[in-house]
Amino acid sequence: MGPHPAVAAIRLAVRRVLHDVLNEFAERTDHNENTAHIAHGERASRPEFAEAGTGRCGAALSDRPALPDRPALPERPDTPLVLVACSGGADSMALASALAFEARKLAVRAGGITVDHNLQDGSDVRAAEVVARLRDMHLDPVEAVAVHVGSEGGPEAAARDARYAALDAAAERHGAAAVLLGHTRDDQAETVLLGLARGSGIRSLSGMAAASGPAGRYRRPFLQLDRQTARKACLVQSLPVWDDPHNIDPAYTRSRLRHEGLPALEKALGKGVVGALARTAQLSRDDADALDTWAAEADSAVRDDAGQLECAKLYALPPAVRRRVLRRAAVEAGAPAGSLFARHIEEVDRLITGWRGQQAINLPGRVEARRQGGRLVIRQS
């Protein structure tokens, strides 16, 4: 008899991601080895590195001073390391269990990281409990990382920034090929609604990517699975889970959306709301990716020989493409991407579409945008 359907579903989702990681690891390994072989071949083909014969001037190579040996290539592990970010909640515990099971059948090393945000009494004790559970699953390496959560951007954003900084550092420290995150289809639906409420545009509506971060480090196997599937998988496997009280605290926007907003939408529109929002995220991502590609190609076409943006050429672009070009230019000038909102770009866009002699537009990062002689100048002040 096979595993419970919920367990089978989470394992299949993780297996697919691990196959992707393995394929990418093999491609990188082949590329690195080919590069090393080419470099070695070039040395062997040059006269000064030949083992016998003479150089171009006729001197016997044996009479020449000995050259140092070629440095050995650094050793590399034969299998990639995949870490799971585990809070102890149902989603991440289900993910950890699936990783532990699938890694044993594949050429993958599996480890785990839990982040202690130090926001609740006893958080260090809970982090130690998570570490013990991950080790019971025979994951290795496993560690708890304590972080300090600041206040910039609000409590939720500050906690997220601290968590990802810790995960990035852990991945670099252990040389991990990927870090698995337990975000589900429900989390995706909430992210889409939050983006819609902020009026942030199609990129925010695209939600979370299945792979993101440096070189696609972060992988989200559960984006097509609902939260109940993960919880059921923990239940049937007798996996203990911890329910974070912050997840039901109405002080947090996502918590209110989860427990009040989405249920109200489902009551009014039916039970398919979460799935529909997740599909919206994927469609929006496809559109946003296409527009970003268009904007990248248009960027060079709207600049003069000195690299300045020409207002007339910008005006001729479709608004969605033009605003992406403007955003790219602002970020390149030093504006922090996370602090650059739609309202900022709209103000800069008016220098192109509604020019009436306006003053310079101040942007985050001490960047200013100014129209001068038919050119749009964006630079730090």
Backbone dihedral region for residue 373 (phi beyond 0: left; psi -120 to 50: alpha; all else: beta): left
Q: Are 202 and 288 in contact (CB under 8 A)?
A: yes
At residue 262, the pLDDT reads 93
Contact 126, 87 (CB under 8 A): no
Can you give the pLDDT at residue 56? 36
Per-residue pLDDT, 133 = 97
Specify the pLDDT at position 69.
Answer: 45
| CA separation for the pair 285, 201 (Å, rounded) | 11
pLDDT for residue 52: 39
pTM of the predicted protein model: 0.80
Please, what sign has the CA dihedral across residues 114, 169, 137, 211?
positive
- Per-residue pLDDT at 45: 52
| The two three-digit tokens of residue 137, written as one number | 């699953």
Q: In which residue are the tokens 């040389």 written?
A: 175
186-242 tens-digit pLDDT:
999 999 999 888 777 788 889 999 999 999 999 999 999 999 999 999 999 999 998
Rounded CA-CA distance 196/234 in Å is 32
Amino acid 33: pLDDT: 66
How far is 23 from 102, CA to CA, in rounded Å? 16
Task: Show the tokens assigned to 334.
Answer: 């030093």
The series of mean pLDDT values per 10 residues for the chain, 381 residues long, is 94 98 88 64 49 39 38 56 97 98 96 94 93 97 94 82 95 97 96 85 89 95 96 97 86 90 93 93 94 96 96 97 96 90 93 94 95 95 84
Amino acid 281: pLDDT: 94
- Residue 152 has φ and ψ, to the nearest 5°, of -65, 130
Residues 119 and 246: beta-carbon distance below 8 Å: yes
CA 154 to chain centre: 21
